[in-house]
Amino acid sequence: MALKTDSNVYTVIFAAIMVVVVGSILAFLASALRPNIKENERFEKQQNILYAMGVNENGDDTGSVNFIPTDVVENEFASYIKEQLVIQGDKITEDNEAYLIDLKKQLANIKKGEDYKLPVFIGEKDGKKFYIIPMYGKGLWDAIWGFIALDDTMTVQGVYFDHKGETPGLGANIKMRYFMDDFKGETILNGTQYAGIAVAKGNNDPLNKTKDDNEVDALAGATITGNGVSAMISETVKLYKPYLETIRAK
Amino acid sequence: MALLSKKDTNLIMDPLADNNPITIQVLGICSALAITAELKASLVMAVSVIFVLGAGNVVISLMRNIIPSKIRIIVQLIVVATLVIIVDQVLKAYQYELSKTLAVFVGLIITNCIIMGRFEAFALANGPWRSFLDGIGNSLGYGVILIIVGFFRELLGSGTLFGIPVLGDPIEKTGLYATGYENNGFMIIPPAALIVVGIIIWVQRSRNPALVEEN
């Protein structure tokens, strides 16, 4: 007997079975792969933090970034990152897993007026101290995030940016070296005020030689993503200002 | 016996040129505009679509006699979305770096009209093997145009190919830039893709007048 594929009953049953089958396949896959994915995400965070403080495998070309290899990142992270702090209001505590704190959730808590935790990582390389702060913001299409490494004079020692869905070739280039490298040496202070760093269109210093103008050259065709990066940095600086003040006072 | 009959070979070869999904059927233009600013992105998108369309066409073809016609578009969408999520999750677990490059394309693959078009026009009426060949052919035809557009946009827009500078350094003014050449910023914004696609259509039709429609 041929199937009556046009009847309403058949259609409903077919839809129901399809939903169950597809749902089960995806649920099974998601739970089976979850441990691996979590592990990869953890390593990625460690790689990003180390990248911001200049621990990476970058070569001479200024294209894409090269992280510390995944198989050694855990040990490297433990050897370079000396302290992981969590700021909760006026209280600062140590937490060895502060890097796993989801900044997005904490920012949402701040908006709701609830308690929040802000992580800071203190790294040491060649006898120099780095204060690495996570950032989270909005680009053109979706979330952007990253890390900024400062020294005790509030000079940027390195940054790392990443994005969820910025346009390839345009906004997605915030994670290219030629953009990120420009931040190195810029100060987030304008005199004594915390100014952040603006991604400026029409910057007349494309070689980025002036390092105290709080500006880096924008990416062509990526105005909104660039503005998102500027906003993300200044919001983060505002948020961490009380802590940054304590570093400067030292 | 040859592996592919003449009909089968045509299923793969036709979409590469005379029945190209982008230049002849004018489908999939949106993703061609969005991601062709760099060659690497074009290549990743092309490979992803080859997998999704090849596998998707087979699944739809296997189910073609039991899919209720009233909800066939929804069923097709579910098949594409499922395949894309499976690829994304497996890559995230085993090829994390690649999965991050691919992330931005996931949404674009699901909404790619070529995929829905081939499900609707071919897989619903043909067997799995021929549907598979049709899927591979069409996605290759799509990929070829994407790569050509990506090549010109990245080369003229950024002076690089696969991110490697090939025309010199635009800021330090070395290589071609020393002669006064400037990167064309227009090439990296989406409208430039329309112009490149337009030129490809023009070249293709002037070489093969049979493709030109009569008014």
Nearest to B38 among A40, A44, A169 (CB): A169
Nearest to B89 among A6, A29, A165 (CB): A29
Mean pLDDT of chain A: 89
What value of ipTM does the predicted structure carry? 0.76
State the helix-helix crossing angle for B72-94 and B96-110, rounded to 10 degrees. Answer: 170
Domain residue ranges of chain B, discontinuous segments joined by + = 26-205
Mean pLDDT of chain B: 87
**Any chain A CB within 8 A of the CB of B90?**
yes
Q: Tell how far CA A66 is from the center of its chain.
A: 16
**Any chain B CB within 8 A of the CB of A1?**
no
A169: left (phi over 0), alpha (psi -120 to 50) or beta: left
Any idea what DSSP says for residue B120? I
CB A131 within 8 A of CB A247: yes
pLDDT, tens digit, for every residue of A129-158?
999 999 999 999 899 999 999 998 899 999
pLDDT, tens digit, for every residue of B4-35?
788 888 888 888 878 888 888 888 888 888 88
* Reported pTM: 0.76
**Any chain B CB within 8 A of the CB of A23?**
no
pLDDT of residue A27: 96
Nearest to A207 among B67, B103, B171 (CB): B171
Inter-chain contact A168–B35, Cβ cutoff 8 Å? yes
Per-residue tokens: B35: 């991601």
CB A159 within 8 A of CB A197: no
CB A59 within 8 A of CB A66: yes
pLDDT beneath 50, residues of chain A: none
